[in-house]
């Protein structure tokens, strides 16, 4: 039996058209990706869109339109952009790939992987193009594995994860952009002619400025609940390039993968080069539908512990910064325990013996507790936490060192730096990046976590930070020939290390932090439970940042903390009610010195934490419906989460501007069951009187077609009035 015939037996969804031609159907509940895999011919892309049945699949190639190679390679038509380019051992710069084999196999978690193997027509050079689907998920992951049997290394000069032709119409692309403390801002624009590139070259982190994810609305300006949207997320923590090439055809050509600009790769005979996955989703329920697809796939299959609810925590950073001492930590632990929190995280400043970590210019790498600050060590703090009935967590930045550290004194060869040049130093004027391409450094980083966890198995949570880009391109570990591997091998090394950590400590909660939101990407999230959205904790600005971040990432992964007022980054004075109402729309935590809170504020927070525990499953496991965008500047923003069974929902409304007698739109809800009766309960109420609809019931139909009026301001005593207003409503049906 030929392999191609075998394939049709293996995959129920595969239909065979002419002899030797294979229509490969990669299907999810609501989408289809169709390829034409004819043996000896290039693999052709046929279709990506709503789910197709046998009839339309059979006739699809008769519908006209251009056909494109599903994974275009460089060489025979050099004027076109390609997903892969390579220089063969003999100097030949061309590739000419043809289908040799198609296979499908099941993975342990029920996922199905379809692999199309292509070989070069002349050279022993092979590319496997893979597509993975998961039960109940509308996301398709695609990636490639390249190898060869040529006598000498082949130099890979471009290695995209995937390619997708997008039929021109009025395609708008939404992307995230920003900066440190201003991450995750949304920008939407129609695709221009020629080239649009979204890229990153930081090396270690990759989501402060732009993001490796996009939404493509196929029908003009994207809508939240309607319209055809393709979402794409490159699952990678390193340098990326997303590229839309709009040429003279009827199509935009979308490519996404590792950015090749800092990297070429000398692939040895028999070695495999695997690209990160590009996750694609198609939805006809607008941006919101695509987001919900990503969130569900993420929680079910990608995010570490995506099925477990997250604890309410207090992090010490904005409360005390580097001023770590035992009395202070004990006081903070008592305060968060007293307010109903479940976890305390001691941030930066607890370590360093020869060089105590009193500021950001020393000690990274010296992960030994400073007993002058903490006489009873970590153990003492764990015991205190335990006595208070809360868990204990700790901050580390294991990929880094400082030139002023014992680690650097012992192992200057561990750092990233070009040979023959002085190191370039980052944060604090002394920070250096460890070369994770080096297996000894991989062991060292693993041991930072392993030693902590072995000595203090009580540790429940680690905040894993990364506060420097790769500086001074070069590796002291790699050979002269392979200096161009650094950026890629850094992330291979990081991933290998994280895999080891996760194998040994699957239940440990680990936060990805990178100077705030530098590591919001699906490449690292299999090893992390959540990420720090931004070092900016200002509630008003967070509405914008969390809105954008929610395009691709679920609330369960978005750490969102109540902090002090005036805010430390923006100096904005924001009432506790508003700060709480924003923080409660993500993974709630606190980032404040509770000692400076009044008793009334503590009581307000105690109630909010208790209420958050009630809505936590809805926020962290529910479906998001974004209702009124802050980017539309209508004076307010609103979103809601709905439980999968649609029995419960939480509705958020935040005023974003303050003018007297302003007219704000009434927000209609979404995602509810039209026939269910929902009882409305306001959470975090500060008003003297309840809302007129408090305790009343409404059908989902009414709430979705009419909505509820939100008063412009809070009904409070004169001395409590301020320029903010926000609401959190719980909706419950039996």
Binding site for ligand GLA (CB under 6 A): 317, 347-348, 360, 395, 465, 467, 513, 515-516, 532, 535
Residues facing 213 on adjacent strands: 233
Rounded to the nearest whole angstrom, what is the least distance from the CB of residue 397 to ligand GLA in the complex? 7
Rounded to the nearest whole angstrom, what is the least distance from the CB of residue 393 to ligand GLA in the complex? 12
Rounded to the nearest whole angstrom, what is the least distance from the CB of residue 318 to ligand GLA in the complex? 8
Rounded to the nearest whole angstrom, what is the least distance from the CB of residue 563 to ligand GLA in the complex? 11
The nearer residue to ligand GLA, 515 or 726, going by C-beta atoms, is 515
Report the residue number whose CB is nearest to ligand GLA: 348
Helix H, strand E, coil C: the string for 277-325 is CEEEEEECEHHHHHHHHHHHHHHHHHCCCCCCCCCCEEECHHHHCCCCC
Rounded to the nearest whole angstrom, what is the least distance from the CB of residue 410 to ligand GLA in the complex? 23
The nearer residue to ligand GLA, 438 or 515, going by C-beta atoms, is 515
Rounded to the nearest whole angstrom, what is the least distance from the CB of residue 293 to ligand GLA in the complex? 29
> How deeply is 91 buried, as exposed, middle or buried, from its count of CB atoms within 10 A (0-12, 13-18, 19+)?
exposed
Judge contact between 472 and 418, C-beta under 8 A.
yes
Residues facing 510 on adjacent strands: 462
Task: Report the residue count for the chain.
Answer: 734
Rounded to the nearest whole angstrom, what is the least distance from the CB of residue 118 to ligand GLA in the complex? 43
C-alpha of 567 from chain center = 26
Q: Which of 240, 221, 250 is nearest to 279 (CA)?
A: 240
Q: Determine the 3-state secondary structure of 49 from DSSP.
A: strand
The nearer residue to ligand GLA, 467 or 549, going by C-beta atoms, is 467
Rounded to the nearest whole angstrom, what is the least distance from the CB of residue 672 to ligand GLA in the complex? 37
Rounded to the nearest whole angstrom, what is the least distance from the CB of residue 487 to ligand GLA in the complex? 22
Please state, in angstroms and rounded to a whole number, the distance separating the CA atoms of residues 483 and 481. 6
Dihedral angle sign, alpha carbons of residues 578, 584, 589, 595? positive
Rounded to the nearest whole angstrom, what is the least distance from the CB of residue 62 to ligand GLA in the complex? 55
DSSP strand pairing (636-642 vs 623-628): antiparallel
Rounded to the nearest whole angstrom, what is the least distance from the CB of residue 64 to ligand GLA in the complex? 52
- Pull the structure tokens for residue 286: 């607008």
Q: Which of 12, 46, 55, 48 is nearest to 31 (CA)?
A: 48
- Pull the structure tokens for residue 715: 């009904």
Note if the bond before 566 is cis, omega within 30 degrees.
yes
The nearer residue to ligand GLA, 52 or 394, going by C-beta atoms, is 394
Rounded to the nearest whole angstrom, what is the least distance from the CB of residue 180 to ligand GLA in the complex? 9
Q: Determine the 3-state secondary structure of 544 from DSSP.
A: helix
The nearer residue to ligand GLA, 435 or 535, going by C-beta atoms, is 535
Rounded to the nearest whole angstrom, what is the least distance from the CB of residue 364 to ligand GLA in the complex? 9
Q: How is 98-149 classified by DSSP, letter by letter?
A: EEEEEEEEE-TTS-EEEEEEEEESSSSEEEEEEEEE-TT--EEEEEEEEEE-
Please state, in angstroms and rounded to a whole number, the distance separating the CA atoms of residues 546 and 555. 9
The nearer residue to ligand GLA, 259 or 467, going by C-beta atoms, is 467
Locate all alpha helices (DSSP H) within 505-648, ordered by sequence. Answer: 539-549, 576-583, 599-621
> How deeply is 660 buried, as exposed, middle or buried, from its count of CB atoms within 10 A (0-12, 13-18, 19+)?
exposed
Please state, in angstroms and rounded to a whole number, the distance separating the CA atoms of residues 448 and 443. 9
The nearer residue to ligand GLA, 101 or 535, going by C-beta atoms, is 535
| φ and ψ of 14, to 5 deg | -95, 130
The nearer residue to ligand GLA, 350 or 724, going by C-beta atoms, is 350
- Pull the structure tokens for residue 384: 């205190």
Rounded to the nearest whole angstrom, what is the least distance from the CB of residue 365 to ligand GLA in the complex? 14
Beta strands in 665-714 (DSSP E): 677-683, 697-699
The nearer residue to ligand GLA, 263 or 534, going by C-beta atoms, is 534
Name the region of 726 (left: φ>0; alpha: ψ -120 to 50; beta: rest).
beta
The nearer residue to ligand GLA, 466 or 475, going by C-beta atoms, is 466
The nearer residue to ligand GLA, 246 or 511, going by C-beta atoms, is 511
The nearer residue to ligand GLA, 255 or 531, going by C-beta atoms, is 531
The nearer residue to ligand GLA, 362 or 585, going by C-beta atoms, is 362
Rounded to the nearest whole angstrom, what is the least distance from the CB of residue 399 to ligand GLA in the complex? 13
The nearer residue to ligand GLA, 399 or 465, going by C-beta atoms, is 465
With b for 16 or more beta-carbon neighbours within 10 A and e for fewer, the 331-364 pattern comes to: bbbbbbbebbbbbbbbbbbbbbeebbbeebbbbb
The nearer residue to ligand GLA, 532 or 698, going by C-beta atoms, is 532
Dihedral angle sign, alpha carbons of residues 72, 74, 80, 83? positive
Rounded to the nearest whole angstrom, what is the least distance from the CB of residue 346 to ligand GLA in the complex? 10
The nearer residue to ligand GLA, 532 or 578, going by C-beta atoms, is 532
With b for 16 or more beta-carbon neighbours within 10 A and e for fewer, the 705-720 pattern comes to: eebbebebebeeeeee
Around Cβ 29, how many Cβ atoms within 10 Å? 11
Please state, in angstroms and rounded to a whole number, the distance separating the CA atoms of residues 581 and 569. 19
The nearer residue to ligand GLA, 362 or 681, going by C-beta atoms, is 362
Judge contact between 428 and 361, C-beta under 8 A.
yes
Please state, in angstroms and rounded to a whole number, the distance separating the CA atoms of residues 711 and 560. 25
The nearer residue to ligand GLA, 13 or 467, going by C-beta atoms, is 467
**702 to each of 286, 655, 675, 676, 680, how far by Cα in Å?**
22, 23, 9, 10, 13
Rounded to the nearest whole angstrom, what is the least distance from the CB of residue 526 to ligand GLA in the complex? 21
Q: Number of C-alpha atoms within 13 angstroms, CB side, residue 714?
A: 25
Rounded to the nearest whole angstrom, what is the least distance from the CB of residue 322 to ligand GLA in the complex? 8
């Amino acid at each position: 039996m030929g392999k191609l015939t075998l394939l049709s037996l293996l995959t129920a969804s595969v239909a065979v058209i002419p002899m030797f031609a294979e229509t490969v159907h990669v299907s999810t509940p609501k989408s289809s990706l169709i390829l034409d895999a004819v043996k000896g011919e290039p693999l052709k892309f046929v279709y990506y869109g709503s789910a197709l049945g046998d009839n339309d699949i059979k006739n699809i190639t008769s519908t006209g339109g251009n056909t494109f190679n599903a994974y275009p390679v460089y060489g025979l038509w050099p004027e076109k952009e390609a997903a892969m380019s390579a220089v063969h051992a003999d100097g030949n710069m061309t590739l000419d790939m043809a289908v040799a084999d198609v296979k499908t196999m099941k993975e342990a978690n029920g996922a199905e992987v379809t692999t199309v193997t292509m070989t070069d027509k002349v050279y022993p050079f092979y590319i496997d193009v893979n597509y993975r689907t998961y039960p109940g998920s509308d996301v398709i992951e695609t990636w490639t594995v390249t190898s060869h049997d040529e006598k000498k290394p082949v130099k890979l000069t471009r290695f995209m994860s995937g390619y997708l032709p997008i039929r021109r119409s009025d395609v708008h692309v939404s992307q995230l952009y920003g900066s440190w403390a201003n991450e995750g801002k949304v920008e939407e624009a129609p695709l221009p002619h020629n080239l649009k590139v979204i890229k990153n070259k930081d090396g270690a982190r990759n989501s402060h400025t732009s993001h490796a994810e996009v939404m493509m609305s196929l029908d003009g300006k994207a809508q939240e609940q309607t319209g055809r949207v393709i979402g794409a997320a490159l699952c990678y923590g390193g340098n990326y390039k997303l590229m839309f090439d709009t040429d003279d055809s009827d199509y935009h050509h979308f490519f996404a993968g590792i950015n090749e600009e800092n990297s070429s790769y000398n692939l040895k005979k028999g070695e495999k080069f695997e690209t990160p996955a590009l996750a694609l989703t198609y939805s006809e329920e607008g941006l919101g539908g695509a987001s919900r697809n990503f969130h569900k796939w993420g929680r079910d299959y990608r995010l570490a512990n995506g099925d477990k609810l997250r604890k309410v925590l207090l992090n010490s950073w904005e409360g005390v910064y580097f001023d770590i001492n035992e009395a202070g930590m004990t006081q903070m632990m008592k305060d968060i325990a007293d307010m109903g929190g479940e976890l305390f995280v001691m941030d930066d400043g607890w370590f360093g013996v020869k060089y105590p970590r009193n500021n950001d210019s020393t000690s990274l790498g010296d992960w030994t507790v400073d007993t002058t600050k903490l006489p009873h060590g970590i153990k003492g703090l764990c015991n205190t936490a335990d006595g208070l009935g809360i868990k204990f967590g700790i901050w580390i930045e294991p990929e880094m060192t400082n030139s002023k550290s014992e680690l650097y004194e012992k192992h200057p060869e561990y750092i990233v730096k070009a040979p023959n040049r002085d190191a370039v130093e980052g944060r604090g004027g002394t920070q250096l990046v460890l070369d994770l391409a080096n297996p000894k450094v991989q062991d060292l980083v693993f041991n930072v976590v392993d030693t902590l966890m072995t000595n203090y198995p009580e540790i429940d949570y680690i905040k894993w930070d990364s506060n420097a880009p790769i500086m001074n391109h070069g590796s002291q570990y790699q050979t002269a020939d392979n200096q161009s591997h650094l950026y890629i091998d850094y992330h291979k090394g990081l991933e290998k290390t994280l895999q080891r950590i996760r194998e040994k400590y699957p239940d440990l909660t680990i936060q990805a932090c990178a100077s705030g939101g530098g590591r919001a990407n699906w490449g690292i999230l299999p090893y992390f439970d959540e990420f720090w959205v931004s070092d900016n904790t200002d509630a008003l600005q967070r509405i914008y940042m969390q809105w954008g971040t929610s395009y691709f990432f679920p609330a369960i992964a978005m750490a969102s903390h109540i902090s002090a007022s005036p805010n430390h980054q923006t100096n904005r004075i924001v009432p506790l009610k508003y700060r709480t109402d924003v923080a409660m729309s993500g993974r709630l935590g606190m980032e404040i010195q509770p000692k400076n809170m009044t008793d009334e504020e503590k009581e307000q927070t105690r109630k909010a934490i208790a209420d958050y525990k009630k809505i936590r499953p809805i926020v962290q496991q529910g479906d998001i419906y974004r209702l009124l965008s802050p980017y539309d500047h209508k004076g307010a923003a609103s979103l809601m989460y709905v439980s999968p069974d649609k029995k419960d929902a939480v509705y958020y409304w935040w005023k974003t501007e303050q003018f007297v007698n302003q007219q704000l739109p009434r927000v209609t809800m979404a995602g509810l069951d039209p026939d269910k009766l929902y009882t409305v309960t306001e959470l975090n109420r500060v008003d003297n009187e309840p809302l007129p609809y408090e305790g009343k019931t409404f059908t989902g139909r009414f709430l979705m077609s009419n909505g509820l009026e939100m008063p412009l301001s809070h009904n409070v005593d004169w001395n409590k009035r301020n320029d903010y207003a926000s609401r959190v409503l719980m909706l419950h049906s039996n």
